[in-house]
Structure formats: structure tokens, C-alpha cells
């Protein structure tokens, strides 16, 4: 679908629906006072412009659109780009909009690139749904209007760029959601690698797939150890966007791509185990971000690396007590086969060093313990370099994908020291599980700035939100794309 900017008068545009955002007030705002019906509407106190409230007026005199939807944006001083994301997210499912083929949004009082981008993101995120596994009426794709006009005070190149970004960012996140929600039988590591290859062709990044033989040649003992219990062979997928100068050191993004985590021999309980089809959400965020980075042709070198495998119990599975030899040469005693994500990431981190990165960020549904830290409200981040952390925080503010920093204290690194092998993959007692997981990973980090984002429980929404219905969130795709967009060298 297409979004068009217009500097014209929204009242004279022929549209099915014209959306007019209004700030909260008890009196009719001046802007809509002359429109019939508004005085009567406000006199009923049914509509005060509280965020999320809507009122539909049909055939108002002087408005060419068939209907007009007033949408409350709440207190004027609290309006932010995320307000537009939320409002357009809600509207995308509103009966007036799903019955329309053309719509206009009057953004003339909110004309900034950030707001325009966010409004488009909200519309496309709010109307996302996975239909591939449905039949009958539920299989119909989400309604999208053919024509959406955004009325702004003055059309400019920077607003046009914001329109493109809004579309590309939302599609990146929806790609990540779709991958995450796909059942593991339909997204094995092999199928996943093929899907990424296709996305690379469609959006303009290069893709190299390491199959099980190549992974063995690379001596990626962590990935091979996790994969050995599964009938599905693992893959490592390397995506490259070379938008910078050939000599510029790349930013490397690494994602955990466990397509199903049963826990392995240290089997998980049955309750909610089906959610572990989403244990590849970190990698999906990286894939989504790479589509956006490539489509926007960002003037930077960015590399995405995903390690993808199943973690399954079987006669061939790795067992507690086994010692794995990692790509870096370090040895790890397996205490718990359910702590598999860190083994996959560790080999990817070591592999990343070959690209002489200027910084490395990994993202993963790594620890159940994250549930007790920020729950579903934000992702813990841990890293080695304050300017890198600042940049992630800034991207989180812009995208409303919230993060909060936890420390990487010596204790958390020491907790992973081994007795039989160099390291253990799970600390005794399970204290500070999110931090000790990062402590483990830090053993595979070289002298480049590094940050780790734990998105366990951020990758799924348990209740409906304005631009995120229940299901996979695709959290991190916009965050990483935005980070790459605003990137400044950290060393």
C-alpha cells in the first residue's frame, strides 16, 4: 500500500474517511468548532479527546470525505511519536477504517518526520496478522486501505524520507513477527536459511549460508553440540550490507536462532513449551533489521550473523556433564542442556571477530530470569562500552522499544568458571541468571565494544496493545535498524 503526503486541504479531499486527531479538552477545539455535530458531541461529554477515544461523524457539511473520525490523542503536552504509533495502531482495526479503501489523516498540527514515521508504523503494525495457518474467514489478509493520505503543513524531502522509513521499519518488524510466529516444523534451520536468502535477494543484502559441514569446518563446537540431538541440521547465516567505504569496520549484529528449544535432555516442563518456537526471535530481529538497513541503503557496513538450530532431546543429544570445545578453543562443561542459547551465541561472537568489527551487538531470548527483571516492559541490556550503551538507549527512546542496563560485574563472569572444563554453561544456584549468561558470553568477546540484549518475554505479547496484538512482537527489529541509522563510531 502507499502513503502520500499532501500539503492540501484535508476537508476538500475525496476520501472514504478523514481522521482528525484532537488533544484532550472539555471545550470543542477551535480547529473543529465550525464542523457540524462537534458542538453537540462535546456537549454530551462522550468525547473529550482522551487518548484512544474515537467519534465518527457522517456527512459533515464542508467535509468532502464520507466520514470523519475524531481520535483523541490525550494531553497535548504529553503527545510524542509513540502517541501517533498507538493512535494509528488502534485506528487500523477500527470498523470505520476497515470499511474504507481510502483514508486521510490530518497531521498538519503534528508535522515532524518522527511523527509521520511513527504514524505509518502504527498503522502497519496495528493491522498485522498471521493468516498462513488459518482457514475460512480468518485466513483473509488484514485490511489495508488502497490509498492513505497524510496531510501535513508543508511537504518536504525530510518528510518524504520519513514516509519511506515508516513503511520500511514496520515491514521489518512484521517480517520478524512472522518468522517468530511460524511453527518450528515450518521454520527449521534449513528453511530459515532459505527464507533469509530470499529476503536478501528481495531487499538487497548478500547472504552466505554455512551448512552443517561448513559449521564443522569452522569448529563451532557450541552450535554443533546443541544441534546434535536434532534430526534437523544447523545453519549459520551471514548477511552483509556494504553501504559504507570498503575499509570502514562493520557493525555486527548477532541473533540467537533456536527454532525450537525443548531444553534438550534437561527437558523443559510441558506448560507453555509451545512458546519455544519463538526462541529464534533474536535472530528474527536481526533479519528484520537487515531488511530495513538494506532497503534504506544506509551509508554503513553492517553484518548480521544468526546461529540457527533446534535444541532437542534424543539418543544423540548432548548431555549434562559433556564438555564442548568451542570455536574459540575454550572448553565448556554442560551443566544444563537448556542453557543452549549462550553456546550458539558464543560461537557466533568468536566468528564475528573475523570481520574486524567496530562493535558487536547480540540479541537473544536468552534467560527465563528476564521475566523477573523487567518482565514484558523492557529488555535488559549489558555491555562493555558506555558510548555503545548510550546509542542503544537513544535508539530505544526513538523506537519506544525499551531497554535498561544491568551491570557486568566480575562476580557474574567468575560464576561461569569451570572445574572440569574452562567454563560451565550454567551457574550454580541460578542467581542473577540474566547477568551470569552475559558473564558467560563475555568470555568470547574480543577488544571491540560489545552489548548484549536479552529479549526473553519481550518477544511475545500476552495481551493486546494498541499496535501490538497478542503474539510475536518482532521486538528489536526497529531498535537495531534505528541504531544503525543513527550510528556513530564508538571507538
Catalytic residues: 268, 342
C-alpha–C-alpha distance, residues 363 and 257, integer Å: 10
What mask, x for binding Zn ion by CB under 5 A, covers residues 387 to 426?
Answer: ----------------------------------------
Q: For residue 155, what is its C-alpha cell? A: 511537504
Q: Which residues of 308-323 are buried (b: 16+ CB within 10 A; e: fewer)?
A: bbbbbbeeebbeeebb
432 in contact with ligand BES (CB under 6 A): no
Which of 16, 178, 338, 347 binds ligand BES (CB under 6 A)? It is 338
Stretch that binds Zn ion, among 69-77, 78-86, 137-145, 258-266 (CB under 5 A): 258-266
Residues 6+ apart with CB under 8 A from 15: 64, 65, 66, 100, 102, 103, 104, 147, 149
Q: What are the phi and psi torsion angles at 355 (to 5°)?
A: -95, 5
For 287, the 3-state DSSP assignment is: helix
| Residues across the chain | 491
Complex with ligand BES: residue 230 or 365, whichever CB lies closer: 365
Q: How far is the CB of 340 from Zn ion (least distance, A)?
A: 5
Cβ atoms of 201 and 294 within 8 Å: the answer is no
Q: Which does 368 bind (CB under 5 to 8 A by kind): ligand BES, Zn ion, none?
A: ligand BES
Assign residue 263 a region: left if phi > 0, alpha if psi is -120 to 50, beta otherwise?
left
User: Helices 281-295 and 477-485: crossing angle, nearest 10°?
Assistant: 40
Choose which of 81, 341, 357, 433 interacts with Zn ion (CB under 5 A): 341
By the rule CB under 6 A, 262 interacts with ligand BES: no
Q: Site for Zn ion (CB under 5 A): which residue of 338, 362, 454, 459?
A: 338
CA nearest neighbour of 455 among 474, 469, 440: 474
Output 215 or 339, the one with its CB closest to Zn ion.
339
Choices 158-166, 312-320, 333-341, 386-394; region in contact with ligand BES by CB under 6 A: 333-341
- Name which position in 108, 173, 228, 365 contacts ligand BES (CB under 6 A): 365
Of these partners, ligand BES, Zn ion, none, which one is at the site of residue 369 (CB under 5 to 8 Å by kind)? ligand BES
Q: DSSP letters of 24-86?
A: --SSPPGGGTTSTTHHHHHHTTS----TT-EEEEES-TT--SSEEEEEE---GGG--HHHHHH
The answer to whether residues 186 and 194 touch, using CB atoms and an 8 Å cutoff, is no
Residue 194's binding partner, choosing from Zn ion, ligand BES, none, with beta-carbon cut-off 5 to 8 A by kind?
none
Count residues binding Zn ion (CB under 5 A). 6
Q: Which does 210 bind (CB under 5 to 8 A by kind): Zn ion, ligand BES, none?
A: none
> Residues 150-179 vs ligand BES: string with x where CB under 6 A?
------------------------------
Q: Interface residues with ligand BES (CB under 6 A)? A: 261, 279, 336, 338-341, 365-369, 426, 433, 456-457
Amino acid at each position: 500500500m502507499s502513503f502520500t503526503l499532501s500539503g492540501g486541504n484535508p476537508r476538500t479531499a475525496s476520501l472514504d474517511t478523514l481522521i482528525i486527531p484532537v488533544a484532550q479538552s472539555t471545550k470543542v477545539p477551535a480547529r473543529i468548532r465550525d464542523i457540524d455535530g462537534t458542538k453537540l458531541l462535546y456537549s454530551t461529554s462522550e468525547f473529550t479527546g482522551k487518548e484512544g477515544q474515537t467519534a465518527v461523524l457522517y456527512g459533515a457539511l464542508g467535509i468532502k470525505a464520507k466520514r470523519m473520525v475524531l481520535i483523541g490523542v490525550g494531553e497535548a503536552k504529553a503527545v510524542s511519536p509513540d502517541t501517533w504509533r498507538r493512535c494509528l495502531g488502534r485506528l487500523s482495526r477500527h470498523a470505520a477504517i476497515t470499511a474504507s479503501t481510502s483514508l486521510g489523516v490530518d497531521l498538519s498540527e503534528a508535522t515532524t518526520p518522527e511523527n509521520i514515521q511513527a504514524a505509518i508504523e502504527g498503522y502497519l503494525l496495528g493491522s498485522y496478522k498471521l493468516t498462513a495457518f488459518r482457514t475460512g474467514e480468518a485466513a483473509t489478509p488484514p485490511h489495508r486501505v488502497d490509498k492513505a493520505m497524510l496531510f501535513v503543513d508543508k511537504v518536504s524531502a525530510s518528510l518524504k524520507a520519513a514516509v519511506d522509513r515508516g513503511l520500511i521499519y514496520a515491514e521489518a518488524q512484521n517480517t520478524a513477527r512472522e518468522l517468530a510466529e511460524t511453527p518450528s516444523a515450518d521454520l527449521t534451520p534449513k528453511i530459515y536459511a532459505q527464507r533469509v536468502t530470499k529476503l536478501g535477494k528481495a531487499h538487497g543484502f548478500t547472504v552466505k549460508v554455512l551448512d552443517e559441514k561448513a559449521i564443522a569446518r569452522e569448529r563451532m563446537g557450541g552450535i554443533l553440540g546443541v544441534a546434535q540431538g536434532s534430526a534437523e541440521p544447523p545453519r549459520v547465516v551471514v548477511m552483509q550490507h556494504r553501504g559504507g567505504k570498503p575499509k570502514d569496520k562493520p557493525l555486527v549484529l548477532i541473533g540467537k536462532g533456536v527454532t525450537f528449544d525443548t531444553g534438550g535432555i534437561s527437558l523443559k516442563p510441558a506448560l507453555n513449551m509451545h512458546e519455544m518456537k519463538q526462541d529464534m526471535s533474536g535472530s528474527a530481529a536481526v533479519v528484520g533489521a537487515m531488511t530495513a538497513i538494506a532497503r534504506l541503503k544506509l551509508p554503513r557496513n553492517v553484518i548480521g550473523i544468526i546461529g540457527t538450530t533446534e535444541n532437542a532431546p534424543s539418543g544423540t543429544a548432548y548431555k549434562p556433564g559433556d564438555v564442548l570445545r568451542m570455536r574459540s578453543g575454550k572448553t565448556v562443561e554442560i551443566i544444563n542442556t537448556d542453557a543452549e542459547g549462550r553456546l550458539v551465541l558464543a560461537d557466533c561472537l568468536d566468528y564475528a571477530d573475523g570481520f574486524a568489527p567496530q562493535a558487536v551487538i547480540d540479541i537473544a531470548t536468552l534467560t527465563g530470569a528476564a521475566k523477573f527483571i523487567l518482565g514484558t516492559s523492557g529488555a535488559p541490556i549489558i555491555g562493555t562500552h558506555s558510548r555503545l550503551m548510550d546509542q542503544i538507549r537513544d535508539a530505544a527512546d526513538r523506537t519506544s522499544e525499551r531497554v535498561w542496563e544491568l551491570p557486568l560485574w566480575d562476580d557474574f563472569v567468575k560464576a561461569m568458571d569451570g572445574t572440569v572444563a574452562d567454563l560451565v554453561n550454567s551457574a550454580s544456584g541460578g542467581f542473577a541468571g540474566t547477568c551470569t549468561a552475559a558473564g558467560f558470553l563475555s568470555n568470547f568477546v574480543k577488544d571491540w565494544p560489545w552489548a548484549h540484549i536479552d529479549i526473553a518475554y519481550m518477544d511475545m505479547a500476552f495481551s493486546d496493545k494498541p499496535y501490538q496484538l497478542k503474539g510475536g512482537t518482532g521486538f528489536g527489529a526497529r531498535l537495531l535498524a534505528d541504531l544503525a541509522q543513527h550510528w556513530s563510531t564508538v571507538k
